[in-house]
Amino acid sequence: MKIQDKTMKLSDKTVNILKNFSQINKSIVINPGNELSTLAVTKNILAFAKVKEDFTSKICIYDLPEFISTFTLFKSPEFDFTNDNYMVISDKGTKTSTQFFYADPSVITTAPDKKISLPSVDVEFNVSDSDLDTLFKASRIYNVPDLFLVGDGSTMRMVVKDKKNDTSNNFSMEMGETDKVFTFYFKVENMKLLPGNYRVQACKSVALFTSVNDDLEYYIALEPDSTIG
């Protein structure tokens, strides 16, 4: 929905995506159109999302958490993007408003203009929201930092444990069958996914988590000691 006067409201879903993206990178550049993207400063997490809003100008926000916190000052915030240097946030029909100034885009780590392609798809499966939630809960309970995706030529499992400690507590969950032998390592701290069901495609270097229900994708780098074959 294009707003010709550059004024709009943000849906709850878009706000939730912005909150999630702020965990990946505290800064963001929103280009004209209806796609949001972010890239971690360490360049190991890349995410894309399509939203219902159609942004009409380039918006560069250095402190995204602060921007989101600004919403709490208003009952129903409305955003005016008319000025090229800042946006105006206000409650329509009230006397409250704020000017939120844009950042220099050169100081922000931004996602590439085009989505990347996986070098190969060696593993592919679906994982549910409840399974991911259980795995992350187990990681917190055991205070372990690593998430394994393991195939033994027969069964595929996701495991949380500390790979540097052979005697660490671990929690395992079967994900299905596989004819491949592999061990793919993730850091749990890099699993910055919005809750939901995902289709997972992975190779030795990177995994793509595609939301089953929303237009949302995360590319998450695997740890360099991951192996296959």
> Distance between CA 206 and CA 197 in Å, rounded?
19
- For 216, residues 6+ apart whose C-beta sits below 8 A from its C-beta are 17, 47, 48, 49, 50, 194, 196, 210
Per residue in 152-188, pLDDT tens?
Answer: 999 999 999 999 999 999 999 999 999 999 999 999 9
Per residue in 33-86, pLDDT tens?
Answer: 999 999 999 999 999 999 999 998 999 999 999 999 999 999 999 999 999 999
* Reported confidence tier of residue 6, pLDDT bands at 50, 70, 90: low
Question: Of 102, 62, 69, which Cα lies nearest the Cα of 86?
Answer: 102
* Whole-number pLDDT of residue 94: 82
* Whole-number pLDDT of residue 38: 98
Per residue in 184-224, pLDDT tens?
Answer: 999 999 999 999 999 999 999 999 999 999 999 999 999 99
- The values of phi and psi at residue 6, to 5°, are 65, 20
Mean pLDDT value of segment 111-117: 88
* Whole-number pLDDT of residue 192: 97
Q: What is the DSSP string of 82-135?
A: -SSSEEEEEETTSS-EEEEEPPPGGGS----SS----S---EEEEE-HHHHHHH
CA distances from 43 to 65, 178, 195 (A): 19, 30, 22
